Amino acid sequence: MFTPVRYSSEDEDSARWEGFAFRPGDIVISTRSKSGTTWMQMICALLVFQTPELPAPLGTLSPWLDWLITPRDQVFARLAAQSHRRFIKTHTPLDGIPLDPRASYIVVGRHPLDLAVSLYHQGDNINRELVRKLTGQPEPEGGQPPRPGLHDWLVSWVESQDRPDDQLDSLAGVIWHLSDAWARRTSPRPADRGQPDSGQVGQGQGRPADGGQRLAVVLVHYDDLCADLDGQMRRLAGLLGIAVPESAWPGLVRAATFDQMRARAKAQVPDPAGVLKDPAAFFRRGCSGAGHEILTSAECARYYARTARLAPPDLLDWLHRGSQAGPGWLESAAAG
């Protein structure tokens, strides 16, 4: 029997998943922080409701189940009351949550260096004092030490020896989250470079095309969303068994772009408790390449050497997209 690993931090606890009642068709969005979580929530919302005018704020429609700031019973009650196809946010790797064959699991991957840069900037936008108050955490003894500059912080992040079970937002934690999902994936396969698997993931109400009980695990790359948002949204609709009228696609895709999401940040940023200092700053840049702009070629080389010891080559090939060539590759932005 599968026993989930428990991951916890000052504001998250994966044990809150215990006892959650899954329904056929549930969608679980499992990502590391700053990998495109809110973007994928928005895409799922657009596919489910098929209108840019959502019936409620995104954080209400797609609650963050493991977040300690919102009482667990309140989150469960909100999800139980939903009559639409549910899509639930988590930052927990798949080995830390229940794996139910009635659900589909979407894991978004982003180049870890770009993820880390976004994570750094996000840290400046969080009201830590309010987070501690809402979660009952004590004030740090001696006050909060000053943060190093971005370059030094990023070098330290690459070289840190933190374990995933101690710090999921460490480099090892990011790679573990993706490695675990990669081993369970039903799409993409190594040979298809992100193209749909015919009948290999949940159709209709999250069930396999043959009616069996295979677990549906879909990997999506942040850069694929940047490069071809329309194509990736259509791909996800097919994998999730959601039929969308052709006339609806232009409006749905436009609503998922970076500019549109930033323009409506107040309704789409996952911040019901008001812990963000500036909701619009949550959508900071929305493109790839920031990590390579900050590190030297030698520092980038150390990053790639480190990840080569943490993950299998096929996953790294999918994740890095040839960026080992060095600074200067930038992808066009859509959302982040």
Annotated active-site residue in 91, 177, 221, 320: 91
- The SS3 assignment for 211 reads coil
DSSP label at 156? H
Burial class (CB in 10 A: 0-12, 13-18, 19+), 64: buried
Say if residues 157 and 166 touch (Cβ distance below 8 Å): no
> Residue 177: which of 33, 13, 322 has the closest Cα?
33
Q: How far apart are CA 159 and CA 307, in angstroms?
A: 10
H or E, element range at 105? strand 104-109
Q: How far is CA 236 from CA 117, 159, 201, 301, in A?
A: 27, 35, 10, 34
C-alpha 245/C-alpha 242 separation (Å) is 10
Write out the H or E segment, with its range, that includes residue 216.
strand 216-221
Cβ atoms 105, 94 nearer than 8 A: yes
Catalytic residue list contains 121: no
Using DSSP, state whether 259 is helix, strand or coil.
helix
Active site residues: 91
